[in-house]
Every structure is written in C-alpha cells, then in structure tokens.
Homo-oligomer: A and B are copies of this chain.
Amino acid sequence: MDSDGPARQVRVPIGGAQRGGSGIPGGRRKQRVSMADVARLAGVSSQTVSRVANGHPGVVGATREQVLAAMRELGYRPNSAARALRYGQFNTIGVILFGLSSTGNSRTVEAIATHAAAEGYAITLIPIGIPTQDNVLGAFTRMGELAVDAVIVIIEVHLLDAGTVTLPPDVHVVVVDSDAGDRYSVVDTDQAEGARLAVRHLLDLGHHTVWHVTGPETSFASQRRAQAWRRALEEAGRPVPPPLHGDWSAESGYAAGLALAGEPGCTAVFASNDQMALGLLRALHERGLTVPDDVSVVGFDDIPDASCFIPPLTTVHQDFAEVGRRCVQGVLRQIREGGAARPGTDLVPVRLVVRDSTAPPRTRA
C-alpha cells in the first residue's frame, strides 16, 4: 500500500495466535498470565515477581533466575491497565487533530510519536472528522475518559473558544498552531518570520510588490502568513494587492494561478504553502508564462517534493520535527513538574530555501 518510507529487513511471525478468547463470546474474558501465575510456577510470592519484573534490588540471583524462567515459560507480560491504575498514569499522550492529510500535520505527529516513544510514552490519536465545535468539545470530553496523561492539540484553537470549553484540570495541554499563547502553552512555527522572509526575498530581487495566495481563513497559520505578508509590504511602502484565497490544495493554487496570469502587473507571488505553489506553477505554465522569468513564486513548508517542481521551488522551510519535539517536551515538563500549563508561545525558527522559482523581474508585455 504505501509508497515511500525507508527500507529494512527482518522477519516476523506474529504470535501463533494459539488461543485467544477460548471461544467465550461477548468479548470480555481474557486469559492472561498474571504475576500470581508466574509466582506459583516459580514457587515464590507475587511480590518477588514484581520485584524482578521491575528490576528492583533485593532479589538474590538464584531466585531471580527462577522467576525469569517462569516468566519465559508462561509468556508473562505485565498488564498495563493494572499498572496504570496502580500508578495513576498511563504513559500516553493524546493528540487531537482534524486529519493527517496535510503535510504539516502528519510530519508533526510523526515527530511527536518518535520523541514520545523515546521518553517511554505512547501516542493516542483522537481524530476529529468535521471541525464543528460540538465535535471538538466531544473529543475533549472523551479525552477525560481516555487513557492519557496529557494532550497535544493540533487544531486551530479559536474553534474551541466560543462555548464553554473546560479542559479537565488534571490533563496537561500543549497547543500547536494557534494564537492562544496567553491561555495555553503554544508551540508553533514562526509563521510571521517565514512570510516576511519570503516577501523580503522577492522585494530584494527587485519586484515592485508581491501577490499572495492564502490558505483557508480558518487556519491560524494562514492568517498569520497573510498578515505578515501585508505588513512586510506596508513597511516597505509597497502597494498591497488583493490576496487570492486558496484552501491549501494544489487545485486551489491552480485556480489562483489562472487568475494571476491575467494580472500583467504581477511578477511575484507568495503562496501560503507548497501545494498551492505547485498549482500556481501549473497554471502559469499553461498560460505560457515562464517561472521565474515572467513570474517568481515562493512557497511555504518545503515539502520534500518541492525540489522537483518545475522549476524547483523557492520556499520557506518549516521544521516540523522540531515542532513535534517541543510539543512532547512541553507536555512532559508539565507532567513531571506537575504544574499547570505555562501560557506562552514557543516559536520554532524557519529559513528560506532559495531554489529556481525566483529571479529578478522582467518587464512583461
């Protein structure tokens, strides 16, 4: 099914699946090996098994060996539910999001999962299909029942604001992509700086002004980029062309590109993400305009494919891995220090990657 992804080699038999539920219908009933079983076989108490299982000192070599042998023989595995109940924590972080379809989300989640795993935490995904407030509230409610110690929210938080969202007080939260830094602990890419870099780059090349294709209005990232684009133009004393509205998709970028192709004064475009830039490139190409000679294009994200666009795309590189890392870090700090969330915004720096889609302007007919 999948298409890329690294390569490896090993082999596995996943459990002989010999006996599962022993046919007892109804779903419950689970014949698992417990510490008591191991203890019985090893001829010790279950507490000693516990000590061995957790590597506690104070178990003499011979006993330990006996217990380990019994564990192996029975295929003992600790029961995480019992453990969680005992300790009051799950070693799991919940991630609330709309979908994995956007490049940014999936890469951020991947980084979150990786870093969390390194710290001994697992990730639970809570997808929210349709971005209605009810759904979001529902997810937060369910969250309380879910086996998670903390939550990372990858959703525009303003969707949560309207009503009375009350996060369970004992669940720690970090939010991505939001301006709610005054209330929550926020981690985000430095959208404004990225947009500023893109605009400055184009102006420095000699373009009189820069057009802009936005993302959906509901996205904070999109809003931020558009806002910074406008400010950068204003600060340079340049005219601000009317922004074109996209929805992150290449198709929407294509539509915008067709419109821009009809604007003779347009020599430079900043697209709010790489996909829309791709659509833009196609539209300009179809209309007989050459990039970068006739029109320069800058994207945002630096997806891996960007280097193979025609022409290779100049774009703002986002460090999704770093965003994920900081989310995990922030959440773990809250868990460990036991305190409440520290409001504040943690900005991850960006950098401009210059490729072949930008050049000094050439006067168009």
Contact = CB atoms under 8 A, between A and B. Distances in A.
Interface of A: 1-25, 27-32, 75, 77-82, 84-85, 87-90, 92, 98-110, 113-114, 117, 122-127, 129, 131-133, 136-137, 140, 144-147, 149-151, 153-154, 156-163, 165-173, 175-177, 183-184, 188-189, 191, 215-219, 221, 247-251, 253-254, 272-275, 278-279, 281-282, 285, 300-301, 304-305, 307-310, 312, 318, 320, 323, 334-336, 338-341
A157 to B, nearest CB: 6
Contacts of A81: 81-82, 84-85, 90, 147
Contact of A254 (B15, B22, B145, B308): B308
B75 A168 contact: yes
Given A28-B88, A87-B12, A114-B129, A77 B158 contact: no
Contacts of A15: 87-90, 149-150, 166-171, 173, 335
A12 B173 CA distance: 12
Contacts of A279: 308
25 contacts: A1-B176, A1-B177, A2-B219, A3-B301, A8-B131, A9-B158, A10-B88, A12-B88, A12-B159, A14-B167, A15-B90, A16-B166, A16-B171, A17-B169, A17-B338, A18-B170, A21-B338, A75-B168, A90-B147, A101-B110, A109-B125, A113-B127, A122-B146, A250-B307, A278-B308
A22 B337 CA distance: 10
Contacts of A339: 18-21, 23
Given A12-B160, A308-B278, A166 B108 contact: no
Nearest to A4: B248
Q: How many copies does the complex hold?
A: 2
Given A122-B124, A168-B77, A88 B147 contact: no
A358 B308 CA distance: 20
A1 B101 contact: no
Contacts of A106: 100-101, 106
B162 A11 contact: yes
Contacts of A249: 4, 304
A258 to B, nearest CB: 12
A4 B160 contact: no
Q: Which 4 A-B pairs have the closest CB atoms?
A: A12-B160, A4-B248, A21-B338, A16-B170
Contact of A2 (B6, B25, B105, B340): B105
